[in-house]
Chains A and B, each alone.
Chain A
Amino acid sequence: MNQLSSETFGENAKAALGDAQLRGALRNATTLFGKKRREAAASLSNWEELRSQARAIKDEVLLHLDRYLETFVTNAETRGAKVHWARDAAEANAIITRLAVERGARNVVKSKSMTTEEIHLNAALERAGMQVVETDLGEYIIQLADETPSHIIAPAIHKTKRQVAELFTTELGMAPTDDVDQLTSTARSTLRERFATADVGISGVNFGIVETGTIVIVENEGNIRLTTSLPRTHIAVMGIEKLLPRFADLDVFLKLLPRSGTGQALSTYQSFITGTKRNASDEGPEELHVILLDNGRSRMLAHPVTRQSLACIRCGACLNACPVYQQIGGHAYGSVYPGPIGSVITPQLIGIQKAAQLPFASSLCGACREVCPVKIDIPQLLLHLRSEITDKQPGGRGKERLAFKLWAAIMTRPKLYEKTVIAGRLFQRWFKPPVKAWTNGRDLRPIEAESFREHWRRTR
């Protein structure tokens, strides 16, 4: 797999900007998602109130996460689920692989889950000799193409219909066509066979309900229903932040999530899974394993500013609204989670040094904060991370640090400031390197012959 790195964000982005097909696909998709989201939000008169309620519920959960987790585990296990705690990706993969191996699994079906992308579960299972099939259409396309998702809810957003058709022709041997119905029905019949023979089904989780121990998963294709009901064993992978205290809280979140994500009033399928089947004659899996994943989340929880990162419900609205994402797409970020929320989460997950470019990959326009259904102040988080990066790298960023020290010295001394402006005015025509980044694409406004303050003193 040709996975880009966050460390080369700048180059990745430049390459993406040169890809006309990618940019066309992104423009269509993000514009459509944005429009549908606006219409869906406008269809509810209490949208703003819902956002505030959702955030208050998340804040409450995060403030007492330890207690809520314990209660959730007790309630889920009382109803027949088995809960496993995973400190990090390696631990989660080891647990899941062990569970699958113990059950003699050969074929695994998966539903779309960013958390399993985060821990790179497919690779771990494949190393253990299992065949893993993604059953969400977008994820399936990505798997066939040997790529990674470029969007949280629309993994193949970067692909055009024609690219998908070509992929299906080479990978599935179907006759060339660009008929969408034919493409989807080919995928469907291939995937149906996989469901029938799968030993284990692996899903993510949208919400874990504390009071009942229920896991809730929303989707549109029905593949999650199949993944979580056909195989004998269902393994659900869930970040520890996914909890909601009460069943009734879903009233708020199931209004916000589909509207923010796809612009739907309701997702087509909403699965509520509470433990395993009660009677031997019932349908459904015999075993339900819930993997509770930390993987850096308790670090985010510890700091009052970064804590709000964990309120995210992975709707993807901030990606669609972000002017940077709209131009370069998800792969350029070189991280599992792209876009504004990805630039916030990634440095906290993989380490600030490895993703030091991402918090700077934003114009701080605030469009992400405006659309976020749980009111995460993403610009504030980006600024916080920027200060962590610069303040905690005293050795690095030498020139930039020096420049800002000099800048502060000038800006706190009005006389020096004025002399600097005069010097700049005299020498501006010889300024080259620092200005080139600007002038390659834009004309630069020259320093005025008379500054405002000079004019003021002359004329008042």
Chain B
Amino acid sequence: MKVALFVTCLVDQLWSSVGTSSVAVLRRVGCDVEFDDRQTCCAQPAFNTGYRNEARQVAKRFIEVFEDSKADAIVSPSGSCTAMVHHYAELFSDDPSWLGRAQAIAARTHELSSFLIRVLGVEDVGASWQGKLTWHDACHGLRDLNLKSEPRRLIRNVRGAEFVEVENAESCCGFGGTFSVKYPEISVAILDQKIEAIERAGVQAVVSGDASCLMQIGGRLSRKGSKVRVMHLAELLNQT
């Protein structure tokens, strides 16, 4: 299957190994991966901060770039950015021509674990990693895309990995985009409850499907001098 990677601006600039891992995993399960380097951002920062005109400009750009692709699917290692693409309809509710184009793009856009399980039907990508780990349900993947069992099924098939649940796996990490810098104290207070549970679980790694949450969780863990590391699902699945 031909796949167009939407790597996300965050991964592109700050966590490129999530992108390279995504490519490797997709190729391993037989996909032909393309990457259009005219892509930038999904428009979420502006949309979530209330700047809809600016969000529309960037969303249109996204639609134009990916309309040029002949790929069967657009795949992204981010539940949050994928959910944003699925929200485009809200930006173009008064604009029938763009609305149709936005909906067509959204229908082709999948988050990585969702694509592997729901589209390809692949539960085991042949990964192995030694150690104890847990999963953080990134909010938009969980609640906008309804991804709950998909990442867990993929993780359970990683050889050598001991998977444990933390009791607040579904609780927000406190990131919330511009919220994390508008109200940093609240953001960190929310985060600390997450961190407490992770530390109690005695894991070596926290895995999640969004680099943004992992920056938030990882940034606090490293500030506290914790030995727990953060890992994106794509990075875990790329371990062999």
Inter-chain contact B16/A451, CB cutoff 8 Å? yes
Given A323-B171, A411-B61, answer yes or no on A450-B179 (Cβ-Cβ < 8 Å). Answer: no
Asked whether A161 is an interface residue with its Cβ less than 8 Å from the other chain, the reply is no
**Please, how many angstroms separate the alpha-carbon atoms of A17 and B188 in the complex?**
10
> Are B219's CB and A327's CB within 8 A?
no
Contact A457 B37, CB 8 Å, known A364-B179, A447-B14: yes
Complex Cα distance, B13 from A405, in Å, reads 20
Given contacts A363-B187, A386-B50, contact A452 B20 (CB under 8 A): yes
Contact: B223 with A383, CB < 8 Å? Answer: no
Could you tell me which residues of chain A, from 356 to 415, have a CB within 8 Å of some CB in chain B? 359-367, 369-370, 380, 383, 385-391, 400-401, 404-405, 407-408, 410-412, 414
Contact A408 B58 (CB under 8 A): yes
Say yes or no: is B53 at the interface (Cβ < 8 Å to chain A): yes
Candidate in B12, B46, B176 with the most chain A CB atoms within 10 angstroms: B12
Among candidates B20, B41, B54, B222, residue contacting A455 with C-beta atoms closer than 8 Å? B20
Residues of B within 8 A of A457 (CB): 37
Question: B130 on the interface (CB 8 Å rule)?
Answer: no
> What is the interface of chain A mostly: helix, strand, loop, or mixed?
helix
- A414 & B49 in contact (Cβ 8 Å cutoff): no
The size of the chain B interface, using a CB distance under 8 A, is 67
CB of A437 within 8 Å of the partner chain: yes
Query: Which residues of chain B come closer than 8 Å to A364, judged between CB atoms?
Result: 48, 139, 176-177, 179
Give which listed residue, B11, B61, B182, contacts A360 with CB less than 8 A. B182
User: Which residues from 1 to 26 on chain B have a C-beta closer than 8 Å to any C-beta of chain A?
Assistant: 7, 9, 11-16, 19-20, 23
List the A residue with the shortest CB-CB distance to B22: A452
Contact A13 B186 (CB under 8 A): yes
A431 within 8 A of B: no
- Smallest CB separation, A419 vs chain B (Å): 12
Q: Residue of B at shortest CB range from A406?
A: B54
Chain A nearest CB, measured from B220 CB (Å):
5
- Determine the residue in chain A with the shortest Cβ distance to B177: A364
Asked if A303 is at the interface (CB within 8 A of a chain B CB), the reply is no
B10 nearest in chain A by CB position = A445
Q: Mark B169-200, 1 if CB is under 8 A from A, else 0.
A: 01110111111111111111111010000000
Q: Does B216 contact A (CB under 8 A)?
A: yes
Bound complex: CA A453 to CA B13 (Å): 9
Return A23 CB to nearest CB of chain B, in Å: 8
Check B57 for interface membership: any CB of A closer than 8 A.
yes
Q: Are A391 and B185 in contact (CB under 8 A)?
A: no
Distance in Å: Cβ of A344 to nearest Cβ of chain B: 14
CA A72 – CA B181 in complex, angstroms? 48
Closest to A366 in B: B143
Would you list the 9 A-B pairs with minimal beta carbon distance, nearest first? Answer: A363-B176, A442-B219, A386-B50, A452-B19, A365-B172, A390-B50, A366-B143, A441-B188, A408-B54
Provide a sorted-by-A list of 5 A–B residue pairs whose CB atoms are within 8 angstroms.
Answer: A364-B139, A388-B50, A452-B20, A453-B37, A457-B37
Residues of B within 8 A of A (CB): 7, 9, 11-16, 19-20, 23, 35, 37-41, 43, 45-55, 57-58, 61, 90, 139-140, 142-144, 170-172, 174-191, 193, 215-216, 218-220, 222-223
Q: A405-B54, A438-B181, A442-B220 are in contact. List 8 more A-B contacts (CB 8 A).
A: A323-B172, A367-B170, A386-B48, A408-B57, A411-B57, A443-B219, A447-B14, A455-B20
